[in-house]
Structure 1
Amino acid sequence: MVMKRSVLALSLVCALSSASSVAAITTPEIIQSSLCFDCIDYNIIGACLWMTCTPIGCSTATSIKVKHRLPDMVAMSYPETGHGPWAATAWMSPKNPLAQGGGNSHGRSPQLLDHASVSFQNVDIIGHPAEGSFFKLLSTFGYVLEGPAKPFMPYFLSSLDVVGWRFNIPDIFNSASWNPLKNKVGTFGNIYPRGGFSVQPHPYKSAALAAFKAAHITTRENMSRVYQPLVAKSKPGYWPPSPVDIDNKETAWQPLYPKKVMKAAVWPDIDDRLQMGDPYANRISDNGQYVWAVWRTYRGCERKGQTLIAHFGQ
């Protein structure tokens, strides 16, 4: 069930009466972090051949084919409902009668699991605010592509997706939810069921897994969840990324909080299965809040004719 305008309006009304917490990150900080050349990963990868026909004949023209990332969204994972880490959007996801608690205060999950490592994470997926400054920077490379994301658009708010995020419905009926060997994000955990509870004792991995689940939902259409799809359609000369998934290398995550990093990496970016220590130890947040910019890879070429008749380059 795609998020309706009435649901959004209701969240706005509820938010006006909700007290917000001290923000962990601000809009200027997020915009500044998008000026990241490593994250953009701009490359000329090939060419496109176009044909234009008129009553007097046909002509052809070529254009370069490029590949680069766009910062489609900001993903936030945080424990306490109503206390989002981004100041400008915290009001979008307030507590409500059906989504009041968060963090580790829940002794029992919807699956009736009593375990010390069961935790709950709220997740918000918001359109990245850096459209203007980012494209100004990106245009210095040459031809650039546009994505479908709208700045500050709430694509997924877990406090509104109560049935899906807190009770795992309908994902609990998906066979992937009962197969521990399938759909696993490294040592973070399983994608399904795509809810806020996880049996993961490591705080960073638990938060990252929750963010991955929300992005997994948001980049697909026709999910039986309360959300707004963030999906671009392919067309001649324009090839957007496929949905977020464990075997999709087109999505990279840039840490913004608790520590900003000026590079983006495909998850899992560390194989810690045979390491003695904890390579994720320096990523743990003191307040349980985490923020990432989610960069996705787009491919395309400038349109220079009526019909795309050939292209090459991956």
Structure 2
Amino acid sequence: MVARLAPALLIFCSLSVSAKITTGEVISRSLCPECIDYKVIGSCLWMTCTPAGCETNTSIKVKHRLPDLVAMSYLKTGEAPWQATQWMSPTNRYSKGGGRSHDRSPQLLDHTSVTFQNVDIIGHPAEGTFFKLLSGFGYVLEGPSEPMMPYYLSSLDPLGWRYNLPDVVNINSWDPLGNRLGTFGDIYPRGGFSVQPHPYKSAALSAFKAVHIVTRQGESRVYQPLVAQSKPGYWPPASLSLNNDDTAWQMLFPIAQTTASVWPDIDDSVLPYDPYAKRISDNGEYVWAVWRTYRGCQREGAMLIADFGE
């Protein structure tokens, strides 16, 4: 009986709350040629040896991005903006509410600029459609992301996302120099609260924190890591950090961007106006495709002897 009711329950849950973006829109808005950033960057030298002798072959080395993840940042627990995933992160007794903090929060943060964002990180659904587009560029690399896999749901990680445990005792939380994402705010502790009055920056910072967790192994959090292992001729992206540009972000909602950028993509520290004003959502909900850069070359032998290029 439970097995028969499960599909109907999932459909009911996904339709019971109004959504702002559908799976079709996530896929279509992510078919972004400029986001792929496909480049031939060098070559690889392969060797194969048999009793008859050894021979070498070469293959081109390429790099390009893949839309591994969909990141959602939103205010109301249980009301994710992507319809098909709303059932994954329902409200529960330990994860309720969100938005701006006017009353005292559980962390005793009661400043009016304190915000709380729920964040869901889901495997991008466009694998098959996307690879058809990408195949037109040439040799294609594959990533480890599984479509529709929930890699992180903040409502299921209340100790980490709402109470900053164990990040509050992490040495990075006390580093004033190496912990800040431009004017967005501090990465650590990687929870949903941030002292950031700007709604777009607050949402983006929360999404960055969640992907920072997901792209690492061994974090003391409730999550599924997305980490690919290097092998001969295949170099996956490094974990998300302030010190590399392997991860780029493409907004899908409230506006659909046709490029992907490494954050922060604008230095607004000295600008007399708000360059992020057009990105502010009316309802506090945001969705991004998270593009990560892969490097590799087609295998043309038993052993990789050398590779050339960035």
Aligned residues: 303
Residue aligned with 2:83, SS: coil
1:162 Cα deviation (Å)? 0.8
Q: Which residue of 2 aligns with 1:8?
A: none
Backbone CA RMSD of aligned residues: 1.7
1:44 Cα deviation (Å)? 0.4
* Mapped contact 1:20–1:82 kept (Cα < 8 A): no
1:20 Cα deviation (Å)? 4.1
The residue type paired with residue 203 of structure 1 is P
5+ residue gaps, structure 1:
1-11
Q: Which residue of 1 aligns with 2:46?
A: 50
Cα deviation per residue 1:191-234 (whole Å; 9 max; x = unaligned)?
00000000000000000000000000000000000000011000
The residue type paired with residue 248 of structure 1 is N
Pairing partner for 2:138 from 125, 142, 152? 142
Q: Does 1:240 align with 2:236?
A: yes
Q: Distance in 1 between matches of 2:11 and 2:184?
A: 32
* Superposition map of 1:123-202 within 5 A: 123-202=119-198
Cα deviation per residue 1:23-72 (whole Å; 9 max; x = unaligned)?
11111111111211110000000000000111111111111000000000
Q: Does 1:122 align with 2:118?
A: yes
* Superposition map of 1:1-314 within 5 A: 20-104=16-100, 107-314=103-310
Change (3 A) 1:236 1:46: same
Residue aligned with 1:58, SS: strand
* Mapped contact 1:106–1:120 kept (Cα < 8 A): no
Percentage identity across paired residues of the two chains:
69
Change (3 A) 1:150 1:55: same
Cα deviation per residue 1:241-267 (whole Å; 9 max; x = unaligned)?
000111110100000000001100000
Q: Distance in 2 between matches of 1:33 and 1:18?
A: 21
* Mapped contact 2:14–2:84 kept (Cα < 8 A): no
Cα deviation per residue 1:157-186 (whole Å; 9 max; x = unaligned)?
000011000000000001221233331100
Q: Which residue of 2 aligns with 1:5?
A: none
The residue type paired with residue 313 of structure 1 is G
* Mapped contact 1:78–1:121 kept (Cα < 8 A): yes
Q: Distance in 1 between matches of 2:27 and 2:207?
A: 20
Q: Distance in 2 between matches of 1:93 and 1:120?
A: 16
Q: Distance in 1 between matches of 2:11 and 2:162?
A: 20
Q: TM-score, normalised by structure 2?
A: 0.94
Residue aligned with 2:99, SS: coil
Change (3 A) 1:17 1:36: closer
Change (3 A) 1:46 1:172: same
The residue type paired with residue 96 of structure 2 is Q
* Mapped contact 2:101–2:112 kept (Cα < 8 A): no
1:13 Cα deviation (Å)? 8.5
The residue type paired with residue 91 of structure 1 is W
5+ residue gaps, structure 2:
1-7
Q: TM-score, normalised by structure 1?
A: 0.93
The residue type paired with residue 219 of structure 2 is M
Q: Which residue of 2 aligns with 1:6?
A: none
